[in-house]
Each structure stands twice: as structure tokens, then as C-alpha cells.
């Protein structure tokens, strides 16, 4: 049981990295990775929302939609749950934990339409994981997102000072460096099943 959970966690972080091998959450990966601190805050917000979203969508799908034979409503129900949750989290944080809200609040609206969160909640069911395994999967994916963001923020801070050919300046060189970071993550292939 524990081995399985650790495997899921490590696979999420290394071999099946959400950004670098599943291409989920590319927008924040490219958009919010210019500075290390923004990259970190965004990742923390994503991990937080992912865990809550998984904790809510899993029971709703398994206990409500499946018994009622409404599996096809998955997409629409999940996105509405995530949108409502993000709003709720925002309100609660603003009221009770203002310091956390100041650090993470600005990223919360971005997360509603982040395909990583919807992606993970759907993947939990395509991989037919149990509730605990799903939470573990969400945590692993979130940590993997954080690892990719932090590493890439480091790469980009080096890019700022390097001499890039005119045609590649801006987005192209960012994508090509992302390709090299993804290449290094291929090295983890086969490490965890």
C-alpha cells in the first residue's frame, strides 16, 4: 500500500511530470516562471487547489455521478466544482488568512482555467485510482509542477543575461530551453514504474 503511494508520488514528480511530459499547465509554466518567488507562490497555490479539487471531485464522481449513470457529465461538473472552489478558497483566505491571501491570492483566478487542475481530477479516474491514491497523485503532480517551475525559473534567469540570436528572442528561446529541461527529465524514464 505504502509502496504504491510512494510510486504514485514519485511518478508524478519525476517520470510523469505534469508540465514536462504531460504538457499540462504550460501557460503558467511559460508565463509565471520569470522570477523564482512568483514561480514558487504559483506552485504552492496550484498544489493547494489541486488537493482540494481532488478531495471534492473524487467523492462527487464516485458517489454521485456513477451511481446515477451520469458519467458523461464529468467535464461540466468538474470544471464548475473547480471554479466554485477557487472562489471559495479566495474568500476564505481573504477573511481568515490575509498573509496567505496576499502571497497566493493573485494566482488563484489564474488557476480556474489551468488545465493542470482539471487534468489531474480527470486523470484520477482514467487511471482508476482510489481516494487516497488520488490525493497522492494530486500531491505528486503538484510537487512535480513546482519542481519544473523552480528549475525553469533558474534557467530563465540565466537566459536574461545571455546573447540570444535575434530570431529566437522572447518566446522561441524560452520554448527551446523548456525542451532541454524536458530532455533532462527523460533521464528519469523507467526509474519509477
Which residues are at the interface with another protein (CB under 8 A)?
20-27, 30-38, 40-42, 72-76, 79-80, 83, 99, 102-103, 105-107, 109-110, 112-115, 118-119, 122-123, 126, 153-154, 157, 160, 167-176, 178-180, 182-183, 185-186
CB-nearer residue toward another protein: 10 or 17: 17
CB 114 within 8 A of CB 25: yes
Q: Closest separation between CB of residue 93 and another protein, Å?
A: 13
CB-nearer residue toward another protein: 62 or 122: 122
Q: Closest separation between CB of residue 16 and another protein, Å?
A: 11
CB 148 within 8 A of CB 29: yes
How remote is the C-alpha of 169 from its chain's centroid? 27
- In this structure, which long-range contacts are made by residues 83-91, counting pairs with CB atoms below 8 Å and at least 24 apart in sequence? 83/112, 85/49, 85/52, 85/53, 85/56, 86/49, 86/111, 86/112, 89/48, 89/49, 89/52
Q: Closest separation between CB of residue 41 and another protein, Å?
A: 6
CB-nearer residue toward another protein: 12 or 22: 22
Amino acid at each position: 500500500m505504502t509502496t504504491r503511494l510512494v510510486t504514485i508520488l514519485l511518478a508524478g514528480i519525476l517520470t510523469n511530470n505534469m508540465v514536462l511530459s504531460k504538457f499540462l499547465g504550460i501557460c503558467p509554466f511559460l508565463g509565471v516562471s520569470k522570477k523564482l518567488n512568483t514561480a514558487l507562490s504559483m506552485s504552492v497555490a496550484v498544489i493547494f487547489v489541486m488537493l482540494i479539487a481532488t478531495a471534492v471531485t473524487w467523492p462527487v464522481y464516485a458517489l454521485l455521478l456513477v451511481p446515477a449513470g451520469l458519467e458523461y457529465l464529468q467535464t461540466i461538473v468538474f470544471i464548475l466544482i473547480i471554479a466554485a472552489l477557487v472562489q471559495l478558497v479566495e474568500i476564505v483566505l481573504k477573511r481568515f488568512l490575509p498573509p496567505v491571501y496576499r502571497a497566493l491570492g493573485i494566482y488563484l483566478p489564474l488557476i480556474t482555467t489551468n488545465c493542470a487542475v482539471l487534468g489531474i481530477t480527470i486523470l484520477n479516474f482514467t487511471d482508476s485510482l482510489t481516494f487516497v491514491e488520488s490525493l497522492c497523485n494530486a500531491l505528486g503532480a503538484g510537487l512535480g509542477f513546482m519542481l519544473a517551475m523552480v528549475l525553469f525559473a533558474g534557467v530563465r534567469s540565466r537566459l536574461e543575461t545571455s546573447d540570444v540570436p535575434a530570431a529566437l528572442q522572447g518566446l522561441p528561446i524560452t520554448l527551446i530551453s523548456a525542451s532541454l529541461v524536458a530532455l533532462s527529465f527523460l533521464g528519469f524514464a523507467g526509474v519509477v514504474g
